[in-house]
Amino acid sequence: MSIVKRALVTGANGFVGSQLREHLEKAGIATAGTWYAPDADIQRDAMESAGLLYLDLSDPECVRRVLRDAGEFDAVFHLAALASVSACSANPALCMDINLTGTVRLVEAILELKRPVRFIFAGSAEIYGTPEQIPIGEDHPVHPVTPYGIAKAGADLFLAWCHKARGLDVVRLRLFNHTGPGQPDTYVLPSFCRQAVEMEAGAREPVLRTGDLTVRRDILHVSDVLDAYLYAARYGKSGEAYNISRGEAPSLADIVEIIRKQSRVPFRVETDPARLRPVDIPVLCGDASRFTRDTGWRPRKSLEQTVADLLNYWRQAISPRSCS
């Protein structure tokens, strides 16, 4: 068991990172956090008042300065990234600079500190590409098919090398899809659930606009992922790679039916060509048994509860009055 008393969370202004700080604090781990946004000057006052440190992963000196200003810490949860697969495909150079080279810059600066630091990396199942077998285990070949997956694969492999060659205490998490209240509606389930609630509120015609519903995804509730980060920090084996997944991969069409059952109004479904990806992985379903064996972690929230939480989140944000 690794004793973590104070941690640095990069990307602490993001969907998961903002919740992870609170989750760690409740577990008795003091935290510092970093933030980044393209409109940094506009958000700077709010972020600094929240106690967050500005981190530009493309700037090596900024990385070193943040590590100095963060004070003493014995763990880093590295979540900062260009997280959207579509955004990475639209700007591959930025994706590589932040998600791959930015990780290298951060690790180099941590190693310069010359003190024990456990590094928990927020990797991705996108590194596996089109699966050769289902479910996907950690020994599955790595052959990503998107710039996002390529960058995450490069960072994952670099960290494995750092463990072997330079003694970095690293736990590599390969996260499958996860969602929950607060995730932007640029992601598929929040988009579907927001559309459904807008239909309930009378703000949208009863048509759910979707991309390819034949793809199958292994989807976790964000609360289970927060637990996974904590379990990885405390119980994960140094140098190991772990899938974080449910082990089930329903099609998006199946998930639409879950939404339909919980929706308060009927709707029909139409494919929106703008939501189709030029390259997409047909199935992502992970085997997390290695992580369960080593840490005791298991997902607790069902997919039905995940959908219910998303619908309720949007119902609180959208009302008939606010849409009129």
pLDDT one-digit tens code per residue, 256-305:
999 999 999 999 999 999 898 887 889 999 999 999 999 999 999 999 99
Q: Residue 237: is it exposed, middle or buried by C-beta count within 10 angstroms (0-12/13-18/19+)?
A: middle
Residue 210's nearest CA partner among 192, 198, 193, 231 is 192
pLDDT digits (tens, 9 = 90+) for 225-239: 999 999 999 999 999
Which domains are present in the chain? 6-178+220-244 (3.40.50.720), 180-217+248-284+300-323 (3.90.25.10)
pLDDT digits (tens, 9 = 90+) for 59-102: 999 999 999 999 999 999 999 999 888 899 999 999 999 999 99
**pLDDT > 70? residue 321:** no
pLDDT digits (tens, 9 = 90+) for 7-40: 999 999 999 999 999 999 999 999 999 999 888 8
Q: Are 46 and 70 within 8 A, CB to CB?
A: no
Residues found in the chain? 324
CB atoms within 10 A of CB 57: 26
The chain-wide mean pLDDT, for the chain, equals: 95
* CA dist., res. 320 & res. 298, Å (int): 38
287: phi then psi, degrees, rounded to nearest 5: -105, 110
**pLDDT > 70? residue 127:** yes
Give the pLDDT confidence score for residue 320 in this predicted structure: 60
* CA dist., res. 172 & res. 169, Å (int): 10
CB atoms within 10 A of CB 324: 8
CA 307, 190, 302 angle in degrees (round to 5)? 25
* CA dist., res. 249 & res. 80, Å (int): 26
292: phi then psi, degrees, rounded to nearest 5: -60, -45
Give the pLDDT confidence score for residue 86 in this predicted structure: 87
* CA dist., res. 117 & res. 103, Å (int): 15
How does residue 324 score in pLDDT terms, banded at 50, 70 and 90?
very low
Residue 217's nearest CA partner among 121, 134, 104, 317 is 134
Amino acid at residue number 6? R
Global pTM exceeds 0.75: yes
